[in-house]
Chain A
Amino acid sequence: MKSAIIVFPGSNREGDMARALQQAAQHQPAMVWHAERELPKGTDLVVLPGGFSYGDYLRCGAIAGRAAIMDAVRAHAERGGLVLGVCNGFQILCESGLLPGVLMRNAHLRFVCRMQYLRVEQTNSRFTHKYANRQIIKVCIAHGEGNYEADQTTIDRLEGDGRVAFRYCNAEGVLGGMANPNGSRNDIAGIFSEKKNVLGLMPHPENLIDPLVGGIDGKGLFDSLVCAA
């Protein structure tokens, strides 16, 4: 599987993402600068990594969402190519119109950086088929704007079409209350596009791929991607 990681000014998780992809695919991903206009030939997966692109100026992901390379990313997604956005990458996907809705300021106004349990809501996708249905996984989160919000029609469509990929939960898999770290609507942590070839999520699976740093629950996502391509 050939992957390309888009690097914006202020991205800071591209190295972690590259390590996770390298481990799963035995292939070094290409690093693509945001000012480029084309993706490397034969790219299967485009990744928008976490960080603080353009210092989160204006709105998180707003300026990166209109970068030169995003036209190529949009065309790749329209062709059915895979796109993964993590944290700031998820915000960029929403701002660029590749995913619906918006990520607002955390309801309690604080930046959260901690371990977080998620429930896998949809295993019928090229990103999640290596997980078990309703599997509880432990990954980490680090964001100040992860409060997913969309109008009721959009929420109903996401829920009805099985496009919620992950929800925040506690260790027992119970949703809501203190298990929701940011006030996100319906405890949504990640969503798919209509064709399920674009995934955006706030948590960082790329940081949980090595037992040395707290667990390997993030590996399922990368193993799924490798088997899909």
Chain B
Amino acid sequence: MKARVVVTLKNGVLDPQGKAIEGALTSLGVADIASIRQGKVFDIEISAQDPTQAKQNLKIACEKLLANTVIENYSIEI
């Protein structure tokens, strides 16, 4: 089973890297960029067969390591 975890900064948390990318795209002449927030994507191969169990394990992975929940949100897709 394949899963994807997406970790993004919470709203209101300053994202200087996103800001810099935003500025770079604007200076490259890419039109209509209103704002950019940078995040992380984890593609995970899961050996378990049960999606409910897999989701539960991934939630533990996010809470324990993949996301810093002080500043980041996460979402899990299976």
Does A186 reach chain B (CB closer than 8 Å)?
no
Contacts of A58 in B (CB 8 A): 65-66
Does B41 reach chain A (CB closer than 8 Å)?
no
Does B14 reach chain A (CB closer than 8 Å)?
yes
Cross-interface CB contact of A109 among B16, B68, B70, B71, cutoff 8 Å: B16
Contacts of A106 in B (CB 8 A): 16
Does B57 reach chain A (CB closer than 8 Å)?
no
Query: How many residues of A are counted as interface, with CB atoms below 8 angstroms from the partner's CB atoms?
Result: 20
Contacts of B68 in A (CB 8 A): 59, 62, 95, 102
Does A32 reach chain B (CB closer than 8 Å)?
no
Total inter-chain residue pairs, C-beta < 8 Å:
35
User: What is the 8 Å Cβ interface bit string for chain A, positions 95-125, against chain B (1 contact, 0 not)?
Assistant: 1000011101111110000000000000000
Nearest-neighbour CB distance to chain A for B71, whole angstroms, equals: 5
| Residue on B nearest A95 in the bound complex, by CB | B68
Considering the chains assembled together, what is the distance between the CA atoms of A138 and B13 in angstroms? 31
| Residue on A nearest B67 in the bound complex, by CB | A59
Considering the chains assembled together, what is the distance between the CA atoms of A149 and B70 in angstroms? 9
Does A66 reach chain B (CB closer than 8 Å)?
yes
Quick one: which of A104, A106, A109, A149 has the most chain B CB within 10 A?
A104
Considering the chains assembled together, what is the distance between the CA atoms of A59 and B9 in angstroms? 13
Considering the chains assembled together, what is the distance between the CA atoms of A195 and B65 in angstroms? 26
Considering the chains assembled together, what is the distance between the CA atoms of A129 and B70 in angstroms? 31
Report whether B71 and A105 are in contact in the complex, using a CB–CB cutoff of 8 Å: no
Report whether A66 and B14 are in contact in the complex, using a CB–CB cutoff of 8 Å: no
Report whether A66 and B16 are in contact in the complex, using a CB–CB cutoff of 8 Å: no
- The contact sample of 11 A-B pairs, CB cut-off 8 A, is A62-B68, A63-B65, A100-B70, A104-B13, A104-B14, A107-B16, A108-B16, A147-B16, A149-B13, A149-B14, A151-B70
6 nearest A-B pairs in the assembled complex, by CB-CB distance:
A102-B70, A105-B16, A102-B71, A109-B16, A107-B16, A109-B20
Spell out A's residues near B (CB within 8 Å): 58-59, 62-63, 66, 95, 100-102, 104-109, 147, 149-151, 183
